[in-house]
Structure 1
Amino acid sequence: NLVFGLLIAWVLVRYKFPGKKIVDALVDLPFALPTAVAGISLTALLAGNGWIGQYLEPLGIQLAFKPAGIVIALIFIGLPFVVRTVQPVLEDAEKELEEAATSLGATRLQIFVKVILPSITPALLTGFAMAFARAVGEYGSVIFIAGNMPMISEITPLIIIGKLEQYDYAGATAVAVVMLVISFVLLLIINALQAWQRRHAGAPA
């Protein structure tokens, strides 16, 4: 999501091409779709008899009901957070700094790494944190494509539900607390990185 979210935001901001508005609208599709519909749609596409899966399975590539399918589902529902967080920052970026770097002989890679990336890093980290927080507790879009096969493609929310159905409230609470701690620690790290980035950006050259 970090890599492809940044690439999509970059293309939408910096380039003009036919169908740009359609691509821009498709970025918000995971927000508009009910999560269960997204899960069923992805399963229908990637299953062995699906539109895409039927061509991949003869090659030995199985996506549905495997960890790879879970990854695809989480990328689908998390990507918009990164794109929509980075996009406005790229739009507001000062082109004069890039032009000045170019006039001083900087390559395009150097301009991106030393001029653009530092300015968008806080937004990139924020988008990542939101996508991760959404993914940790995601249920609807993952439950169908995961298959919940023990030790292969189990998902945490379904483990919690299974324990609740067995009246194992202590077990369900333990799993939920672990998820909460992981999310909380990651958010603390992201906030610390953002604070450091803001101090670094505001420091005199």
Structure 2
Amino acid sequence: MSDLTLDRPTRARTEPRLRRSHSVLPGFGLTLGLTLLWLSLVVLIPLAALFFKTAELSPSRIVAILSAARTLNALKISFGLALIAASVNLVLGAVIVWALVRYEFPGRRVLDALIDIPFALPTAVAGIALTTLYAENGWIGGWLAPLGIKVSFTPLGILVALIFIGLPFVVRTVQPVLEDLDHELEEAAATLGAGRWTTIRRVVLPAVLPAFLTGFALAFARAVGEYGSVIFIAGNLPNVSEIAPLLIVIRLEEFRYADATTIAATMLVASFLLLFVINGLQRWSESRTGRTS
């Protein structure tokens, strides 16, 4: 019987039932509302307050704050070393993940557990430990000092700290993707005459590249905002080893709130732009992999 032959009361009872059968899962409205409320209270409102506070300043005042030599050097140190540390972690993370996933060796589970230490270790403890190790009289710094390499209280020390806290983000992001990669694809490539490097470049790398980009973005974001583990090993010399988060704290202690909010807003915008570019590359890689697979 078609819908045209149904009387009006029957159609009225049937249509709502059809509409309900295509509705979303129960609780969507409540969970969406709680999610938006949480995001507003924890993320959106504080960020909006930061930008509103900065918008109260005149453009010339903002330019004067950002063009100060101390501010420029602090931003350069934070973002420059964060990019270098994330790049180093990308390479180290790839080697570690490959060893953990593709090989069985004694102590593999212990090594796998040690990767998570920076997650659980308080940042202040990590900073003190790294400073003790890499000081000129430390276990590692004592061997480097005769070679003319000074780590603690230099930008190199900041780089070491950022590599330490960012490495787990790359490893834990890429590891499950590589574990789920079908070994038969590599065997098929080898059967067709592909060498090891060709298999990695044409089969393995396209599958794990989005995960690598995600790990890189996470490691970079963590490094830009890192504070606790850096201030102990950096030396905190203005224009030499002073990071932008520390400069923000100093400006707050000096009651120079306009300077602090301007620097913070600049860091936020720059981080968003870089993460936007990285996410765009990730989406491009995913779509390209989807077309070629």
Bucket of the pairwise TM-score, normalised by the shorter protein: over 0.9
Partner of 1:147: 235
Deviation at 1:161, TM superposition (A): 0.6
Partner of 2:216: 128
Q: Which residue of 20, 24, 32 maps to 2:112?
A: 24
**One-letter code of the match for 2:155?**
P
Question: Structure 1 segments of 4 or more deviating over 3 A?
Answer: none
Partner of 2:151: 63
Deviation at 1:65, TM superposition (A): 0.7
Q: Quote the Cα distance in structure 1 between the aligned partners of 2:246 and 2:286.
A: 39
Q: Quote the Cα distance in structure 1 between the aligned partners of 2:149 and 2:257.
A: 38
Q: Quote the Cα distance in structure 2 between the aligned partners of 1:51 and 1:106.
A: 46
Partner of 1:98: 186
Q: Within 5 A, what are the aligned runs for 1:2-13? A: 2-13=90-101
Q: Which residue of 217, 225, 241 maps to 1:137?
A: 225
Partner of 2:253: 165
Identity fraction in percent: 64
Whether 1:118 aligns to 2:206 is yes
Q: Quote the Cα distance in structure 1 between the aligned partners of 2:197 and 2:176.
A: 21
Q: Which residue of 163, 177, 180 maps to 2:268?
A: 180
Deviation at 1:170, TM superposition (A): 1.1
Structure 1 residues 66 and 204, CA, compared in 2 at 3 Å: closer, same or farther? closer
CA deviation vs aligned residue, 1:174-198 (integer Å, no higher than 9, x gap): 1111210121011111221121112
Note the aligned Cα RMSD (angstroms). Answer: 1.0
**One-letter code of the match for 1:114?**
R
**One-letter code of the match for 1:131?**
A
Q: Quote the Cα distance in structure 2 between the aligned partners of 1:203 and 1:132.
A: 29
Deviation at 1:104, TM superposition (A): 1.1
TM-score by length of 1: 0.97
Extract unaligned runs of 5+ from structure 1.
Answer: none
Structure number with larger C-alpha Rg: 2
Q: How many residues align?
A: 205
Deviation at 1:204, TM superposition (A): 5.2
Q: Which residue of 112, 122, 125 maps to 1:34?
A: 122
TM-score by length of 2: 0.69
Deviation at 1:115, TM superposition (A): 0.6
Q: Quote the Cα distance in structure 1 between the aligned partners of 2:212 and 2:171.
A: 9
Extract unaligned runs of 5+ from structure 2.
Answer: 1-88
**One-letter code of the match for 1:15?**
Y
Partner of 2:287: 199
